[in-house]
A and B are shown apart, each in its own frame.
Chain A
């Protein structure tokens, strides 16, 4: 059987080239992401780093790890998805060959083994190409992550010898997993089909398609509902999964959905004879249309779903941040000069806040065993009166008015894993001094995070504040021009001044930059896969349509008309894929809108129109070009010589 697989492979390599490229990409991405991930998870922090800097550095590693984990998951998912749709397509195209094997005595098991052996071959080739490519990808990915500030420039991924095993496992696993469903379908091919020109009895909408379609559709709906009740951290991944599930559901149901939309487009196309022919082909070649539309659908759903959920949550967080500050100016200065800002004429309130490392010691008792753990956290040292006046934000419990003496409040960045509440005691270490602090207030958690704790300034020794960087939120007296006050502060050399609005805007910008970095990495990846899958589908189907094209020409169509007919058809399929992708993403958008509303009080939905526009134009251009190219080369021979 393996020999036959090998020969099929050699004979029909065009059918497999897309799958090989996909496996190769999948292997190299998984390998590279995994190596960087492992290196980032156990980073060598440079010696002599201050505790605060060390915390920030490992936090940035955490962001990179999350991103890499997403790349890993997405890469593996897309690889399996594309390999399996490629195989489903090739099995459909090779029905006659498979039936012929059945006719000369092949059993069902033998056909399954034939396809599995093909997949194995594909996996091995893909792995062999993917491993060296992975080294290149790793360099590229590291550079990208450093450039996007996810990793420090000193970062070096470490090569691990066990990665060969993982890569081979991924490559072969992806190929075998991808072929599983198709091999089952191949085993069902009846010998009689070898004698018929077209498998008239071939049902595209199979029972597994119904099952997976319904299953993932239900999953998408469930997750969209669930997204409205989770925390900010959970909402983004959840809505990403919602889009993925909706995309899988729609692509499983695509033989049902694509012709449905095809009929709608048909109303437009029917005006010209070419359009009518294209529309008829669209309805007739359900599987062909679905194979082109499905990857596009997944791309658009992922793109819209993910980018709008990330952007919406960030924008909602920015809005929340803006609403939580009531002030005119923000001054960055050192401890000593900050104290004098309050004395500047025109300043009504000057609320100082100092960012400090804050080590919390927790003691948990489990079955007579005492566990002591030290956590690195951050705290803002504030003056509670001034803070309350500049931060109109009511605690979820307790009161900031009590924040005096040996007390502490849970800040907006605290997800309160330890289950603290008003009245609990916190053992903390600030700047080398130990404190035992009573919790007096719990602030609402912020989407964009912030300090883990708030402590009153007055408990800290003056020396701890003198050299620290201080940020001061300033409210000016009513009727006084803030810019005049800003000029006075600047003139007294008390620090660098910026308006609250500008400072928030610059933070929004930097958030946006990080987000678009994440999106570029993830979507670039998804886009690359889609490109492979779509071109693959168009090339395979055009190659198999030589006879049909020839028949159309014998009937009286010119070569140009055949090419145009194929183009209209491909573009209609493109449009269907894009529209369906938007439909799949809608579930996410609704979910994320409700989630941001619940988290921040204002629901925000940000749709990345520019990105969407780029995908739409790109899809039409790529598919149009491929379609024209393949149909031109499929009609190169004179119509009667095709057999």
Chain B
């Protein structure tokens, strides 16, 4: 089965940041098996931003988790930056999370006891890399938080917390940034700021981003949108408008 690219045209020739080959994921025991992903083959091209959309229960989050090596696949293969991670050990996955993957979530997931600066430095520290203050500050500066270095998560607004989370994901210069509903808990102004930030990362630094979202406005900022239903890819769109995304989604949910 040929891999379906999220983006057609010359960009497909570029090496994929993440590649799924016939990936299936099943849950539950013998009696009640649920197939969350059903033979999905998909390339997420490097240096571009792909949004994954679909109705609730379509398998969006499972797709993201499998692509990031957080969940084992039942069948198929996952290649991350050219490496097969399908049967990787916990040690290998840990190393991967340190160097190759960054995460941004709906619920920010910052360590409550650490300041913004310390949260950003944490992945490097965990990897045993000497952290220069200047580097951390530069990253926080790039997300517009140079004045909030010493603040703890609870002293920051939701949008600011999400920007700290993005800075934390960026500091290791990951091959892929995985974002799960990054604007889900934000007001529209903060959401716009965060999306612009992600757009700039792709355009200026060539960052690869895989984003799961419900929000057509968020999906419209991506380079390509993949639609998922019942664990299968059913549609795709290149640089669609928010209205187009909403219409296609409505059709799926109907």
A and B co-occur in one complex = yes
Known: A191-B97, A192-B70, A195-B180. Is A100-B109 also a contact (CB below 8 A)? yes
Q: How far apart are B204's CB and chain A's nearest CB, in angstroms?
A: 24
Q: A191 CA to B127 CA in the complex, in Å?
A: 16
Q: A543 CA to B114 CA in the complex, in Å?
A: 20
Q: A101 CA to B110 CA in the complex, in Å?
A: 9
Q: A194 CA to B111 CA in the complex, in Å?
A: 11
Known: A7-B114, A11-B112, A100-B109. Is A105-B168 also a contact (CB below 8 A)? no
A11: chain B residues within 8 A (beta carbon): 112-113
**Is there an interface contact between B123 and A105, defined as CB atoms closer than 8 Å?**
yes
Q: Is A8 an interface residue (CB 8 A)?
A: yes
Q: How far apart are B82's CB and chain A's nearest CB, in angstroms?
A: 20
For chain A, residues 161 to 206, give those with C-beta under 8 angstroms from any C-beta of chain B.
190-192, 194-195
Q: Is B65 an interface residue (CB 8 A)?
A: yes
Residue in B71, B105, B126 whose CB lies within 8 Å of A105: B126
Q: Is B33 an interface residue (CB 8 A)?
A: no
Q: Apart from A7-B113, A195-B109, what 15 extra A-B contacts exist at CB < 8 Å? A: A4-B111, A4-B114, A7-B118, A11-B112, A100-B111, A101-B122, A102-B94, A104-B123, A105-B97, A107-B94, A110-B126, A191-B97, A195-B70, A195-B105, A195-B180
Q: Is B130 an interface residue (CB 8 A)?
A: no
For chain B, residues 77 to 125, give those with C-beta under 8 angstroms from any C-beta of chain A.
90-91, 94, 97-98, 103, 105, 109, 111-114, 118, 122-123
For chain A, residues 91 to 128, give those with C-beta under 8 angstroms from any C-beta of chain B.
97, 100-108, 110
**Is there an interface contact between B126 and A10, defined as CB atoms closer than 8 Å?**
no
7 sample A-B contacts, Cβ–Cβ < 8 Å, listed by A number: A10-B113, A104-B97, A104-B126, A104-B168, A191-B97, A195-B65, A195-B109
Residue of A nearest to B69 (CB): A191
B180: chain A residues within 8 A (beta carbon): 195
Q: A10 CA to B65 CA in the complex, in Å?
A: 33
B91: chain A residues within 8 A (beta carbon): 107
Q: Is A12 an interface residue (CB 8 A)?
A: yes
**Is there an interface contact between B123 and A8, defined as CB atoms closer than 8 Å?**
no
Q: How far apart are B153's CB and chain A's nearest CB, in angstroms?
A: 11
**Is there an interface contact between A108 and B90, defined as CB atoms closer than 8 Å?**
yes
B103: chain A residues within 8 A (beta carbon): 103-104
Q: A103 CA to B71 CA in the complex, in Å?
A: 12
Count residues of chain A with CB under 8 A from any CB of chain B: 22
**Closest CB pairs A-B (n = 9):** A11-B113, A105-B98, A7-B113, A192-B70, A105-B126, A104-B123, A107-B94, A105-B97, A105-B123
Q: How far apart are B91's CB and chain A's nearest CB, in angstroms?
A: 7
Q: A73 CA to B82 CA in the complex, in Å?
A: 59
Residue of B nearest to A188 (CB): B90
A104: chain B residues within 8 A (beta carbon): 97, 103, 122-123, 126, 168
Residue of B nearest to A104 (CB): B123
Q: How far apart are A79's CB and chain B's nearest CB, in angstroms?
A: 27
Residue of A nearest to B103 (CB): A103
A8: chain B residues within 8 A (beta carbon): 113
Binding site for B on A (CB under 8 A): 4, 7-8, 10-12, 97, 100-108, 110, 190-192, 194-195
**Is there an interface contact between B126 and A192, defined as CB atoms closer than 8 Å?**
no
**Is there an interface contact between B111 and A105, defined as CB atoms closer than 8 Å?**
no
**Is there an interface contact between A192 and B65, defined as CB atoms closer than 8 Å?**
yes
Q: How far apart are A12's CB and chain B's nearest CB, in angstroms?
A: 7
B114: chain A residues within 8 A (beta carbon): 4, 7
A110: chain B residues within 8 A (beta carbon): 126
Residue of A nearest to B90 (CB): A108
Q: A192 CA to B72 CA in the complex, in Å?
A: 11
Q: How far apart are A198's CB and chain B's nearest CB, in angstroms?
A: 13
Q: A191 CA to B118 CA in the complex, in Å?
A: 20
Residue in B71, B90, B118, B127 whose CB lies within 8 Å of A192: B71
A106: chain B residues within 8 A (beta carbon): 94, 126
**Is there an interface contact between B126 and A101, defined as CB atoms closer than 8 Å?**
yes
B98: chain A residues within 8 A (beta carbon): 105
Q: A410 CA to B218 CA in the complex, in Å?
A: 96
B112: chain A residues within 8 A (beta carbon): 11, 97
Q: A100 CA to B122 CA in the complex, in Å?
A: 11
Q: A12 CA to B168 CA in the complex, in Å?
A: 23
Q: A191 CA to B103 CA in the complex, in Å?
A: 11
A107: chain B residues within 8 A (beta carbon): 91, 94, 126
B118: chain A residues within 8 A (beta carbon): 7
Q: How far apart are B86's CB and chain A's nearest CB, in angstroms?
A: 16
A108: chain B residues within 8 A (beta carbon): 90, 94
Residue of B nearest to A9 (CB): B113
Q: A194 CA to B68 CA in the complex, in Å?
A: 14
B65: chain A residues within 8 A (beta carbon): 192, 195
B126: chain A residues within 8 A (beta carbon): 101, 104-107, 110
Q: A106 CA to B97 CA in the complex, in Å?
A: 9
Residue in B71, B90, B111 whose CB lies within 8 Å of A97: B111
Q: A298 CA to B170 CA in the complex, in Å?
A: 51
Q: How far apart are B40's CB and chain A's nearest CB, in angstroms?
A: 18
A4: chain B residues within 8 A (beta carbon): 111, 113-114, 122
Q: How far apart are B137's CB and chain A's nearest CB, in angstroms?
A: 19
Residue in B90, B105, B113 whose CB lies within 8 Å of A12: B113
Q: A169 CA to B190 CA in the complex, in Å?
A: 53
B71: chain A residues within 8 A (beta carbon): 192
Q: How far apart are B28's CB and chain A's nearest CB, in angstroms?
A: 12
Residue of A nearest to B91 (CB): A107
For chain B, residues 160 to 188, give those with C-beta under 8 angstroms from any C-beta of chain A.
168, 172, 180
Residue of B nearest to A5 (CB): B113
Q: A195 CA to B109 CA in the complex, in Å?
A: 8
Q: A274 CA to B111 CA in the complex, in Å?
A: 36
For chain B, residues 53 to 87, give those with C-beta under 8 angstroms from any C-beta of chain A.
61, 65, 70-71
Q: A190 CA to B113 CA in the complex, in Å?
A: 21
Q: A104 CA to B101 CA in the complex, in Å?
A: 9
B123: chain A residues within 8 A (beta carbon): 104-105
B105: chain A residues within 8 A (beta carbon): 194-195
Residue of A nearest to B94 (CB): A107
Residue of B nearest to A96 (CB): B109
Residue of A nearest to B61 (CB): A195
Known: A192-B71, A195-B180. Is A105-B94 also a contact (CB below 8 A)? yes
**Is there an interface contact between B97 and A103, defined as CB atoms closer than 8 Å?**
yes
Residue of A nearest to B105 (CB): A195
A102: chain B residues within 8 A (beta carbon): 94, 97
Q: Which of A8, A110, A194, A195 has the most CB of B within 10 A?
A: A195
Q: How far apart are B112's CB and chain A's nearest CB, in angstroms?
A: 6
Q: How far apart are B14's CB and chain A's nearest CB, in angstroms?
A: 27
Residue of A nearest to B165 (CB): A104
Q: A32 CA to B186 CA in the complex, in Å?
A: 58
**Is there an interface contact between A103 and B109, defined as CB atoms closer than 8 Å?**
yes
A103: chain B residues within 8 A (beta carbon): 70, 97, 103, 109
Q: A97 CA to B108 CA in the complex, in Å?
A: 12
Residue of B nearest to A11 (CB): B113
A105: chain B residues within 8 A (beta carbon): 94, 97-98, 123, 126-127, 172
Q: A101 CA to B126 CA in the complex, in Å?
A: 9
Residue of B nearest to A190 (CB): B70
Residue in B61, B109, B168 whose CB lies within 8 Å of A194: B109
Residue of A nearest to B64 (CB): A195
